Chains A and B, each alone.
Chain A
Amino acid sequence: MIPLTDRVDYLANLSNNLCYCLAIEKLLGIEVPPRAVWTRVMLTELTRINSHLVWLGTHALDMGAMSMFFYATREREELLKIFEMFSGQRLMTSYFRIGGLALDHPRGGLEAVKKFLEMFPPKIDEYENLLDNNPIWKNRTIGVGVVPVDKMLAMGITGPMIRAAGIPWDARKDEPYSGYQNFEFDVPTSTDNDVYARYRVRMEEMRQSVRIMGQALEGMPDGAFQADAPKVVLPQREKMKTQMEALIYHFKIVTEGVRVPPGEVYQVIESPRGELGYYVVSDGTSKPFRVHMRTPSFGNIQGLGMMCEGGMIADSIASMGSMDFVLGDTDR
């Protein structure tokens, strides 16, 4: 199942991995060791930066600011290298497992993250310099795509868009998951509620992500990276080849899968685009009875109509870009 969740939102694959794993872990009632929790936080924040960078580049491209895209992909390249170090994949990472991580940190992985964190914040200033001094960018975004806040909420719009409308709702703060209560960060908001405000909020979110990653890096605990749950977590290769018990569990998990006790759970996380929820129902077998993904793009894109109403056709491009939707995330 986990590789499938990558494909849902190919720019926020680890967020989807995380949400699914958290839901199943809740059903199973297993505790994830701190090293795995902190690594998960660190890498999902990196995913947020990844997603926001792609959004920034393409959104600016839509608005006629072509060079922004080159700068954004330049930094994204560094970030994808980190994903590759950890998981072996640049895009479809599938790095999280039920009960922890797929692998422990690679050699030099944390140093690479540290280098990225030193390199990245000045680049955000560079992007802002590039765009905020661009009169076309400002003319096309300020005062565009404004919708009353209560209408946005009723329409199901979430994430940076609703925060740019003045509601400080962030699942990381309001319904903490995966240890986010241990991290210090701010939820950037704005009350302007236009395309420009959404840009400001996302830029600030990247800075906050850097802040969270810094804390995760500094306090990265040692120890196990997978839970001690032999019926759920695949045994290490070495153990599997030397211990009978581990071999049996390996065989059972690979052929049969993980048996999840009957029940249902709705797990919410804050993906780069907004509220990402996995509603999982188990009937006690190793195959989920129902997995419903409440993806942020599907909810957000519904509001496009009311955002464009009464405006100019050219402004609809700005509104659409400010939603930051991913089509894989829309039709699942």
Chain B
Amino acid sequence: MISELLQEDPLVIALVERFGSAIEAGSLEHDQTILYISAASIVEVCTVLRDEHGFNRASSVTALDWYPQEPRFEVVYLLHNVKEAARVRLKVRVSGENPAVDSVTGVWPGTNWYEREVFDLFGVTFNGHPDLRRIMMPEDWEGHPLRKDFPIHGHKYDYGETNQ
């Protein structure tokens, strides 16, 4: 469902015409455009936004965890058109079981570290990412700290004292 507030927006009209049902929903919040994109066509939509609509950079990529709802994750892309000072926010819903979405590093190389951050803190895998490793937490860390079901005090560590 695309909000009435966006029916006149030329960008939204162009995208819906081109991708049809891949643009799942859209809304306008505090004058900021939010579009829900189906996971299968996110790379395609981003390429078109970059090449035809001037969105020459991605400010950031992040995620939301709506645990225990399903689909659990939303991966959020904050895009920016520098020339026209226009911004748009894309969201992709990702299921909680083996969460994965295609990487957009091929479109904007600057998303590389942001996707690694989402992978590290939320455990969402990015298919086709050139170097998907943890970026914030130690390499041998278990779990993903920004998930809502991650214990706030962390996991209890056994330092070997109890086993003696």
Chain B residues contacting A247 (CB-CB under 8 Å) are: none
Stretch at the interface among B12-20, B54-62, B94-102: B54-62
- Check A167 against B29 for contact (C-beta < 8 Å): no
Q: Flag if B113 contacts A298 (CB, 8 Å).
A: yes
Q: Is B72 an interface residue (CB 8 A)?
A: no
Contact residue among B76, B109, B113 (Cβ-Cβ distance under 8 Å from A279): B76
Residue among A169, A281, A289, A299 making CB contact with B82, cutoff 8 Å: A169
Contacts of B65 in A (CB 8 A): 290
Asked if B59 and A294 sit within 8 Å, CB to CB, the answer is yes
Q: Considering the complex, give the chain B residue whose CB is closest to the CB of A292.
A: B62
Give the chain B neighbours of A124 by CB distance below 8 A: none
Q: How many angstroms between the C-alpha atoms of A167 and B89 in the bound complex?
A: 23
Checking A154, A265, A279, A292 against B110 with a beta-carbon cut-off of 8 angstroms, the contacting residue is: A154
Q: Let me know if B30 and A175 touch, CB within 8 A.
A: no
Q: Do A154 and B32 have beta carbons less than 8 Å apart?
A: no
- Interface flag for A103 (CB, 8 Å): no
Number of interface residues of B (CB under 8 A): 26
Contact with A along B19-51 (1 / 0, CB 8 A): 000000000011010100000000000000000
| Residues on the A chain within 8 Å of B30, using CB | 26-27, 263, 265
A238 within 8 A of B: no
Asked whether any CB of chain B lies closer than 8 Å to the CB of A104, the reply is: no
Which of A156, A264, A302 has most chain B Cβ within 10 Å? A156
Asked if A184 is at the interface (CB within 8 A of a chain B CB), the reply is no
Task: Please tell me if the beta carbons of A155 and B89 are within 8 angstroms of each other in the complex.
Answer: no
- The answer to whether B29 touches A264 (Cβ under 8 A) is yes
Cβ of A153: which chain B residues have Cβ within 8 Å of it? 56-57, 82
A218 within 8 A of B: no
B78 contacts chain A at the CB level, 8 A cutoff? yes
B62 to chain A, nearest CB (A): 4
The answer to whether B1 has its CB under 8 Å from any CB of chain A is no
CA distance A191 to B30 in the complex (A): 35
Count of A interface residues, CB-CB < 8 Å: 30
A10 within 8 Å of B (CB atoms): no
Pairwise interchain contact A289-B113, C-beta atoms closer than 8 A: no
Interface membership of chain A positions 268-289, coded 1 if the CB is closer than 8 angstroms to chain B and 0 otherwise: 1000000101010100000001
B contact residues around A268 at 8 Å (CB): 59, 87
Q: Are A150 and B56 in contact (CB under 8 A)?
A: yes
- Which residues of chain B are near A263, meaning CB under 8 Å? 29-30
Interface secondary structure of A, over-half rule: mixed
Q: Is the CB of B85 within 8 A of A299?
A: no
Q: Is A185 an interface residue (CB 8 A)?
A: no
**A292–B89 CA distance with the chains assembled, in angstroms:** 14
A156 touches B57 (CB 8 A): yes
On whether the beta carbons of B78 and A279 are closer than 8 Å, the reply is yes
Is there an interface contact between A154 and B85, defined as CB atoms closer than 8 Å? Answer: no
User: B109 touching A154 by the CB < 8 A rule?
Assistant: yes
In the complex, the answer to whether B32 meets A265 with C-beta atoms within 8 Å is yes
Complex Cα gap A303–B113 (Å): 11
> Looking at B29, B60, B114, which has the most chain A CB atoms within 10 Å of its CB?
B60
Whether B109 lies near A292 (C-beta < 8 A) is: no
Taking a contact as CB atoms under 8 Å apart, the answer to whether A302 and B113 are in contact is yes
The answer to whether A266 and B56 have CB atoms under 8 Å apart is no
- Whether A167 lies near B113 (C-beta < 8 A) is no
In chain A between 289 and 308, which residues have their CB closer than 8 angstroms to a CB of chain B?
Answer: 289-290, 292, 294, 298-299, 302-303
- Residues on B with C-beta less than 8 A from A289 are 64
Residue of A nearest to B148 (CB): A289
Tell me which residues from 86 to 117 in chain B have a Cβ below 8 Å from any Cβ of chain A. 87, 89, 108-114
Which residues of chain B come closer than 8 Å to A331, judged between CB atoms?
Answer: 136
A222 contacts the other chain (Cβ, under 8 Å)?
no
Q: How far is the CB of B116 from chain A (nearest CB, A)?
A: 10
Chain A residues near B56: list those with CB within 8 A: 150, 153-154
Q: A263-B29, A265-B30, A277-B59 are in contact. Are A154 and B108 (CB under 8 A)?
A: yes
Binding site for A on B (CB under 8 A): 29-30, 32, 34, 56-60, 62, 64-65, 76, 78, 82, 85, 87, 89, 108-114, 136
- 12 A–B contacts from the bound complex (CB under 8 Å): A27-B30, A153-B82, A154-B56, A175-B85, A175-B87, A266-B78, A266-B87, A279-B60, A279-B76, A292-B76, A302-B113, A303-B110
